[in-house]
Amino acid sequence: MNACPAVSLRRMAIAARAPSLSAAQLTQLASEESGLAAFEWRDRRAFAQLGLTTRTAAWLAAPDERLIASDLRWLESSGTVLLPATSADYPSLLRESPDAPAVLYVRGDIRVLSEPQLAMVGSRNPTAGGRSTAREFASFFARAGLTITSGLALGIDAACHEGALATDGPTVAVLGCGLDQIYPREHEALAERVAACGALISEFPPGTEPLPACFPQRNRIIAGLSHGTLVVEAAQRSGSLITARLAGVAGRDVFAIPGSIHNPLAKGCHQLIRQGAKLVERPEDVLCELKISLSAQLVASTPQKPGATPTLDKEYKILLDALAFEPASVDSLIERTGMNSESIASMLLILELDGHVAPHPGGRYSRMAGQ
């Protein structure tokens, strides 16, 4: 089923290829008395009166019908749907952001686009520690109920998608090319996994190659879809900083993980922090800052035993017993309980939200008095 049943699929395919057509313009066009039937006017002057550029009006008035027919065949054969800004399924956060695209090409579950999202981006050539941090943070956020959004690129992007997928969490990949040309090629298998558990999206029609100019354009969608953007590792001249800047322009939170002053891939993050980005040492720092409530989702996403509450579950009791009133690190708790770091981090957040434990600098925790 296509995402725009109320509107001619052919008209949406035309709109999807219209150069510079924005979500706001498509919505305005649909609200006019003639609605999207205006696509049949083939009158450039009429389009110009709606504030469309010359190029946009020229294409809408006289589209390449052979190209549109080819697009329609590809949509059907590939299982890709068109999601116009006029659809109730079009993500509201993206619609509110500057210069949102009129139409998205989507392969996967369009419903995840309206779920709370966190963008995670960073270097294509990260350190081993940066890659590990990205994967662990993404897994944590996915368990907390956030959809992880990134760009399918090498390095940090891939680690973020993989971290979300490791917990069966949804993830969204925004491509800087047509969905018929997965880039980079070595991520074709990862792209299939993303489509199966979340969605692949692009504003670029089939046949669009991954040209350098496409990626800054792609980055505004990553930022626009999300409540916030977390930069894990980035050099001072990095596309990740573009995404962070666009997130700020859209009024979204910007987060950055600091690193060693000797690591060139930390310099971009340090620059963002100097400019006002929120410093992040642990994933809980992000959840506490986001302007959405996720604690209930986090509790619901943690496996529970029948009839048990999060703080009374056997594993929670074991963790509480392992905590003293002196601050302890996660590494210490791993040794004391035999649990893995991801489980401990998730449980500690729930215990903190319920008032059973207190956080301390350096990622340490202690048991609250009376617990």
Q: Residues 142-177: pLDDT tens digits?
A: 999 999 999 999 999 999 999 999 999 999 999 999
Q: How confident is the model at residue 311 (pLDDT cuts 50, 70, 90)?
A: very low
Give the model's confidence band at 90: pLDDT under 50 very low, under 70 low, under 90 confident, else very high. Answer: very high
- pLDDT tens for residues 15-47? 999 999 999 989 888 877 555 665 665 566 667
Phi, psi of 105 (to 5 degrees): -90, 130
Position 361 confidence tier, pLDDT thresholds 50, 70, 90: confident
CA atoms of 84 and 23, how far apart (whole Å): 8
CB-based contact 138:160 (threshold 8 Å): yes
Q: Which of 148, 209, 219 is nearest to 184 (CA)?
A: 209
Task: Please tell me the total number of residues recorded for the chain in this structure.
Answer: 371
* Domain edges within the chain: 9-79, 111-289, 302-367
Using the 8-state DSSP alphabet, how is residue 174 labeled?
A: E
Question: Token pair for residue 82?
Answer: 């068109």
- Residue 115 CB partners (closer than 8 Å, separation 6+): 147, 170
Confidence check: pLDDT of 293 > 80: no
Task: State the CATH class of domain 302-367.
Answer: mainly alpha
Alpha carbons 341 and 348: distance in angstroms, whole number: 10
Q: Say yes or no: do domains 111-289 and 302-367 share a fold.
A: no
Q: Which helix (H) or strand (E) holds 5?
A: none
> CB–CB of 236/259 below 8 Å?
no
- CB–CB of 255/278 below 8 Å? yes
Q: What is the DSSP string of 149-193?
A: EE---TTHHHHHHHHHHHTT--EEEE-SS-TTS-SSGGGHHHHHH
Q: How confident is the model at residue 264 (pLDDT cuts 50, 70, 90)?
A: very high
* pTM, 2 dp: 0.78
- Whether the per-residue pLDDT at 48 is higher than 90: the answer is no
Average pLDDT, the chain: 87
**What single-letter amino acid sits at 289?**
E
- State both tokens at 12: 């949406």
Confidence tier at 7 by pLDDT (50, 70, 90): low
Each residue's pLDDT tens digit, 187-232: 999 999 999 999 999 999 999 999 999 999 999 999 999 999 999 9
Q: What is the pLDDT of residue 312?
A: 40
Supply the CATH classification number for the domain 111-289.
3.40.50.450
Q: Average of pLDDT values for 327-356? A: 83
Categorize the per-residue pLDDT at 359 as very low, low, confident or very high, splitting at 50, 70 and 90: confident
Is the per-residue pLDDT at 140 higher than 90?
Answer: yes
Q: What is the pLDDT of residue 42?
A: 59
> Which residues are within 8 A (CB) of 298 and not within 5 positions of it... i.e. 6 or more apart?
143, 144, 145, 287, 346, 349, 350, 353
Per-residue pLDDT reduced to its tens digit, 243-261:
999 999 999 999 999 998 9
